[in-house]
Amino acid sequence: MSVPGAWYLALGAVLFSIGGLGLLVRRNVLVMFMCIELMLNAANLTFVTFARMLNDIGGQALVFFVLVVAAAEVVVGLGLVVAIFRRRRGTTADDLHMMKG
């Protein structure tokens, strides 16, 4: 018994919505990065689902590019968070103005 592809697409839409809502609501930078990662993984799930449904390897190849972007986002994002942590103990999105000049 196989799970239909529409269920995977619905799960991807729910995960993407949760990530988008968390990105808009939360002010903590680490939580915002986790929400972006959730959104990227939801997009990966959709790419793999369409690749499986259409019997095409292109969607699975695109997942590797999304993973590279996610890894670069983590490196740059965590670098910014560490730079903010060195100046003060809390990290909110409002503290990013400290990075000017």
Class of domain 5-89: mainly alpha
Alpha-carbon torsion 50, 54, 55, 57, what sign? Answer: negative
CA dist., res. 33 & res. 31, Å (int): 5
Mean pLDDT of 7-22: 97
15 close to 45: Cβ distance less than 8 angstroms: yes
Measuring CA to CA, how many Å separate 76 from each of 17, 18, 23, 73, 100?
A: 24, 23, 17, 5, 16
**pLDDT tens, residue by residue, 17-70:** 999 999 999 888 888 888 999 999 999 999 999 999 999 999 889 999 999 998
- Copy the structure tokens of residue 82: 């560490």
What is the pLDDT at residue 92?
Answer: 73
89 backbone dihedrals φ, ψ, rounded to 5°: -80, -25
